[in-house]
Amino acid sequence: MRAQTKQLSDVIPLPASVRPVPAANFTITPGTAVNAAPGTTGVAAHLGLPLAADGPIRLRLDEALPAEGYRLEIAADSVTLSGGSPQGLFWGVQTLRQLGDELPGGVIEDEPRFSYRGAMLDLARHFFTAAEIKAHIDLLVQFKINHLHLHLTDDQGWRLEIPAWPRLTEVSGGAGTGVDGSGPGFLTLAEYADVVAYATDRFVTVVPEIDMPGHVNAAQVAYPELTADGQPVAPRTDAEVGYSSLVAGMEETYAFVEDVIRTVADLTPGPYLHIGGDECLSTPPEDYRTFLTRVLPLPGKYGKRAIGWHEIAAAELPETAVVQYWRIEGDEPNVARAAAAGRQIIMAPADRTYLDMKYDADTRLGLDWAGHLSVERAYDWDPADRLPGVDEKSLIGVEAPLWSETLRSVADVQYLTFPRLPAVAEVAWSPQGSRDWESFRARLAAFGPRWDAAGVAYHRSPEIDWPGRTV
Ligand code: TNX
């Protein structure tokens, strides 16, 4: 049990620098007002307090700070929060909100270790609605996650409307799709735009993924002309991988792919478009390279940087391409070679970041092909020390993917996401040298009552000394 007063460092992810000034606590009451300097009123709204020119909580921009950085100064009679940009200010607001209404005095100066701090949600194996995705974003930003990767297409479903290819969602987003046929649905153009706008308001970049050339059974069910012999294929609702492929030697393939990439690029303000590229076990290696040589430049043609799962490192990569490392073993030399050639890498090793791995043998959801992923394992590693030849300067960041084969509800998403996502968020944000598992698990315990009160279905991992339930 841990009911003592909060300390200034009781924040996840741990800030880069914390200097407590013990006597100078500040108390927020419902009437405490915010003085928001020009350019900060949008962010100020996320504090949920009234605005007034003489308010003691001051929000301002300070270009001397890093863009995602902020400085929070808490004194007895005022609180000053400065951000290097509205985004940095927004992260400062998250810190302020975590500290609660009795703010301990002192100064926090903070900025992230990595610029890409991601979470992935698989909408293909089980669909989640726009409202559910937005609610998930609200939980992610509390931990300063700034990229949401949406896995929109796979063998079991196609989840984004593409107007020129309407059967993709009419057929493969409809009833009976998803693993066990239990996850139907798709995002209309308007719903996707709504998710993107909601994310943008919270400084989160949406990274859409259209998986290819494998993981395409749902596309081929909708359009049999995309198969090698033009014959219809049956819908699949099992969780196998590696059996479907677009055909590298057919022009129809590239007409389809370019239409889809252009459409998704037009709908997406963020800089990235993820083209998948994983587990193409039924694509001959030569065809895989032929396909990627034509397709990897397409996001660039439409103004985006291509991201692909690390298998793409077997092909020639455009200069701006980003490689996402996921497997626990295999392809490391290709990834190291891509890094040596100046390509940027996202770290998402399954045995440290895959939120769909079971916590332990008793976990009722999830898979275990990469082993069990305890909270401590998700926390206790260094992304710059994972792969020989891939060091700090090659990394743009870290992502925690959540595949949805075993998920059936938002509660299932929350159960696997919390509390491991905060662990990965701290890996991606806080200085490596300041991170410490004992400190993290003590800070994490304080989130139990908040998640209880907010109705978040987190896993009460026995690794953490949670306080007693309050609701
Ligand atoms: C591997 S990780 C996959 C996915 C599965 C996942 C399940 C990756 C790039 N591909 O197709 O959903 O394992 O953990």
Q: What is the CATH number of the domain that holds 347?
A: 3.20.20.80
Q: Which domain holds residue 73?
A: 17-110
Instruction: Give the start-end residues of each E strand in 245-335.
Output: 272-276, 305-309, 322-325
Mutate to test the pocket of ligand 1, among 207, 403, 405 (most ligand atoms within 8 A of CB): 403
pLDDT, position 273: 98
* Cα 50 to averaged position of ligand 1 atoms, centre (Å): 46
Rg (CA), the chain: 23
Residue 58 has pLDDT above 80, yes or no: yes
Confidence of residue 328 (pLDDT cuts 50, 70, 90): confident
Residue 84 has pLDDT above 70, yes or no: yes
In a domain, 11, yes or no: no
Please check whether residues 373 and 327 belong to one and the same domain: yes
Please check whether residues 354 and 278 belong to one and the same domain: yes
Q: Establish whether residue 37 lines the binding site of ligand 1, counting it when its CB lies within 6 angstroms of any ligand atom.
A: no
In a domain, 356, yes or no: yes
Instruction: Specify the residue for token string 């082993």.
Output: 371
pLDDT, position 23: 87
Spatial CA neighbour of 107 closest among 12, 20, 25: 20
Quote the percentage of the chain above a pLDDT of 70: 98
Cβ neighbours of residue 6 closer than 8 Å, sequence gap 6 or more? 99, 100, 102, 104, 446
In a domain, 5, yes or no: no
pLDDT, position 2: 41
Residue 5 has pLDDT above 80, yes or no: no
Please check whether residues 153 and 40 belong to one and the same domain: no
- Final residue before a domain boundary, out of 73, 90, 110: 110
pLDDT, position 410: 98
* Cα 363 to averaged position of ligand 1 atoms, centre (Å): 19
- Final residue before a domain boundary, out of 110, 142, 158: 110
Please check whether residues 341 and 426 belong to one and the same domain: yes
| Ligand 1: residue whose CA is nearest its atom 13 | 403
For 257-286, write each residue's pLDDT tens digit. Answer: 999 999 999 999 999 999 999 999 999 999
**Tokens at 139, concatenated:** 């939980």
For 396-435, write each residue's pLDDT tens digit. Answer: 999 999 999 999 999 999 999 999 999 999 999 999 999 9
* Cα 278 to averaged position of ligand 1 atoms, centre (Å): 8
Q: Establish whether residue 403 lines the binding site of ligand 1, counting it when its CB lies within 6 angstroms of any ligand atom.
A: yes
In a domain, 195, yes or no: yes
- How many distinct structural domains can be found in the chain? 2
pLDDT, position 329: 81
pLDDT, position 4: 53
Please check whether residues 184 and 81 belong to one and the same domain: no
Computed over every residue of the chain, the mean pLDDT equals 97
Please check whether residues 205 and 303 belong to one and the same domain: yes
Mean of the pLDDT values across residues 94-103? 97
pLDDT, position 1: 38
Residue 160 has pLDDT above 80, yes or no: yes
Please check whether residues 300 and 337 belong to one and the same domain: yes
In a domain, 460, yes or no: no
Please check whether residues 73 and 148 belong to one and the same domain: no
| Ligand 1: residue whose CA is nearest its atom 10 | 278
In a domain, 211, yes or no: yes
- Final residue before a domain boundary, out of 72, 95, 110: 110
Mean of the pLDDT values across residues 358-381? 98
Please check whether residues 146 and 48 belong to one and the same domain: no
pLDDT, position 81: 98
Mean of the pLDDT values across residues 388-399? 97
| Ligand 1: residue whose CA is nearest its atom 12 | 403
Please check whether residues 348 and 431 belong to one and the same domain: yes
Concerning whether 319 is annotated as a catalytic residue, the answer is no
Mean of the pLDDT values across residues 144-158? 99
Spatial CA neighbour of 188 closest among 211, 168, 214: 168
Mean of the pLDDT values across residues 21-44? 95
Please check whether residues 121 and 98 belong to one and the same domain: no
In a domain, 448, yes or no: no
Residue 149 has pLDDT above 90, yes or no: yes
Please check whether residues 275 and 334 belong to one and the same domain: yes
**Tokens at 80, concatenated:** 């000053």
Cβ neighbours of residue 257 closer than 8 Å, sequence gap 6 or more? 212, 246, 295, 298
In a domain, 164, yes or no: yes
Residue 140 has pLDDT above 70, yes or no: yes
Residue 352 has pLDDT above 60, yes or no: yes
For 286-326, write each residue's pLDDT tens digit. Answer: 999 999 999 999 999 999 999 999 999 999 999 999 999 99
pLDDT, position 3: 43
pLDDT, position 92: 98
pLDDT, position 471: 54
CATH number at residue 67: 3.30.379.10
Cβ neighbours of residue 186 closer than 8 Å, sequence gap 6 or more? 127, 157, 158, 159, 160, 161, 169, 173
pLDDT, position 6: 84
**Separation CA 246–CA 288 (nearest Å):** 9
Confidence of residue 468 (pLDDT cuts 50, 70, 90): confident
Mean of the pLDDT values across residues 147-159? 98
What's this model's pTM, rounded to 2 decimal places? 0.97
